[in-house]
Structure 1
Amino acid sequence: MLAYERFGSGEPLVLVHGIAHRRQAWYPVAERLAEHREVILFDLPGHGESPALDLAGRTVQEALHQHLVDLFDELDLVRPHIAGNSLGGRIALEAAASGIVSSATGLSPAGFWRDDKDFLLIRAHFIALIAAGRAAAPLAPLLTRSGIGRRLMLASLMTHGERLTPERVLGDLTNMVDSRHTLADIIGGAFPFEDDIAADIPVTVAWGTRDRVLLPYQGRRARQRLPRAEHVWLPGSGHVPMSDDADAVVEILLRGSAGGLLARADDAA
């Protein structure tokens, strides 16, 4: 069973973190979302407190999708709303394409790179990030004491790393290093997002204008690939925008997860 947290009230909203991250990535926005939604946070396999990713002869995409379906079954979730960041955003879009959710919101979702050469740069970024994390581990307790240190350590992921507590940054760093083998499996099995999503499932895609991992041009490609979706820019935000602009992220997730509610209300009428 995947490690998870469940709190709040209202329509269920499942939040999926990115590669080499953990469910705590959503903490800056989770409590405010819980005033309007039942929030479900979980650690992907091979991340945080969840068991290792076991492919068991499946592709990475198949394994991650089955873990999501199993989580829904365990928690008695029937077509919940879903939102995700980076890899989590890709998982959210794939859940929408398979019809198992009522709405999907992706914050810089993976899968919209141009070609293999372009993807090599993304892969190199994560390899460098893991290497830097391992090298910085002995000094991390000292570096995280100051806001400037935290901002510099997280500069490739967000623009305001200083807003995270030292404990959060240290925990994220440990998780990132510990998840490196899962990261290698996921990146090794990556391919562009090309699925079709039914018109009756509302989709929202938001992209930080200062995303240094999945560069903003990918947001423009997502707009072309998903023309029926709502597309939003997050000015000044990086790849992990929940800490950079919590107000905007909360608004986007609530609006995105309201689309399915409105659609069902129309059906009932």
Structure 2
Amino acid sequence: MLAYERFGTGEPLVLVHGISHRRQAWYPVAEQLAEQREVILFDLPGHGESPDLVRDGRPVKDVLQQELIALLSELDLDRPHIAGNSLGGRIALEAAVDGLVSSATGLSPAGFWKGNLDFAYIRAHFAVLLAAARLTQPLAPSLARSGVARKLMLGSLMTHGENLDRDRVVGDLNSMIAARHALKTIIAGGYPFDGELPADIPVTIAWGTKDRLLLPYQAERARRQLPNAEHLWLEGSGHVPMSDDVEGVVDVLLRGSSQGLRSSVADVA
């Protein structure tokens, strides 16, 4: 059984973190969301406190889909709303394709890179992140006392890493190292998103303008590929926007799961 948390009141909203992260990625926005939604956070297989990712010869996509279906069944959730970041955003889109959810929101969802060279950049980015995490792990508790150091340590993922406290940063770093086998397995099985979204499932895609992992031009590719979705920019946010723009992300998630969006969030031009 995957590790999860469930709290709040209202329509259920399942939140899916990105590759090498953990459910705590949503903590900056979870409290506000819980005022209007029943929030479900969980750790993906091989991440956080969940069991290892076991393929047994299955494609990675099928493993992740089956684990999500099992979790929804265990929690007695019938077509909840879903939102995800990065890999989690891709999982949210796949759940919409499969008709498992009532709405889907992706924050910089994976799957819209150009080709092999573009994907090689993503693989290299994660390889550097993991190597840096392992190198700095012994010093991380001391380094992370400084807001400037936290900002630098997390600079490739978010623009305001200093917003996270020391314990969160150290915990995320340790979680990334612990998830390295799942990270390598998922990256090895990666391929572009090619699903067809059902017309009756609202989909929202929001992209940080300062995303340094899934570069912002991919938002334009997503818009061309999924013209019926709502497409938004999160101004000044990085790849993991939940700490960069708490109010903006909360608004996107609430409105996305209500089939509406605030006018103050800029549409993709």
- TM band (smaller chain): over 0.9
User: Counterparts of 1:117-266 in structure 2 under 5 Å?
Assistant: 117-259=117-259
Q: State the Cα distance separating 1:237 from its structure 2 match.
A: 0.2
d(CA) in 1 for partners of 2:92 and 2:222? 14
What are the superposed Cα offsets for residues 107-141 of structure 1, whole Å, 9 maximum, x if unpaired?
00000000011100000000010000000111111
d(CA) in 2 for partners of 1:27 and 1:102? 23
What are the superposed Cα offsets for residues 87-125 of structure 1, whole Å, 9 maximum, x if unpaired?
000000000000000000000000000001110000000
d(CA) in 2 for partners of 1:246 and 1:24? 14
d(CA) in 2 for partners of 1:32 and 1:14? 14
2:265 aligns to what? none
Q: What amino acid is aligned across from residue 35 of structure 1 in structure 2?
A: E
Q: State the Cα distance separating 1:229 from its structure 2 match.
A: 0.3
| 1:45 pairs with 2:45 | yes
d(CA) in 2 for partners of 1:151 and 1:157? 10
Q: What amino acid is aligned across from residue 19 of structure 1 in structure 2?
A: I
Q: What amino acid is aligned across from residue 32 of structure 1 in structure 2?
A: Q
Q: State the Cα distance separating 1:259 from its structure 2 match.
A: 1.9
3-state DSSP class of the match of 2:174? helix
d(CA) in 2 for partners of 1:65 and 1:176? 22
User: Counterparts of 1:58-137 in structure 2 under 5 Å?
Assistant: 58-137=58-137
d(CA) in 2 for partners of 1:42 and 1:196? 26
User: Counterparts of 1:21-60 in structure 2 under 5 Å?
Assistant: 21-60=21-60
3-state DSSP class of the match of 2:137? helix
What are the superposed Cα offsets for residues 60-81 of structure 1, whole Å, 9 maximum, x if unpaired?
0000000000000000000000
What are the superposed Cα offsets for residues 147-183 of structure 1, whole Å, 9 maximum, x if unpaired?
0010000000000000101000000000001101100
- Aligned positions, number: 260
Between the aligned residues of both structures, percent identity stands at: 70
d(CA) in 1 for partners of 2:192 and 2:233? 21
3-state DSSP class of the match of 1:241? coil
TM-score, normalising length from structure 2? Answer: 0.96
3-state DSSP class of the match of 1:258? coil
3-state DSSP class of the match of 2:139? helix
3-state DSSP class of the match of 1:259? coil
d(CA) in 2 for partners of 1:141 and 1:76? 40
d(CA) in 1 for partners of 2:44 and 2:23? 8
Q: Structure 2 regions of 5+ residues with no counterpart?
A: 261-269
Q: What amino acid is aligned across from residue 107 of structure 1 in structure 2?
A: L
Q: Structure 1 regions of 5+ residues with no counterpart?
A: 261-269
d(CA) in 2 for partners of 1:96 and 1:243? 26
What are the superposed Cα offsets for residues 204-262 of structure 1, whole Å, 9 maximum, x if unpaired?
000000000000000110000110000000110000000000000000000000129xx
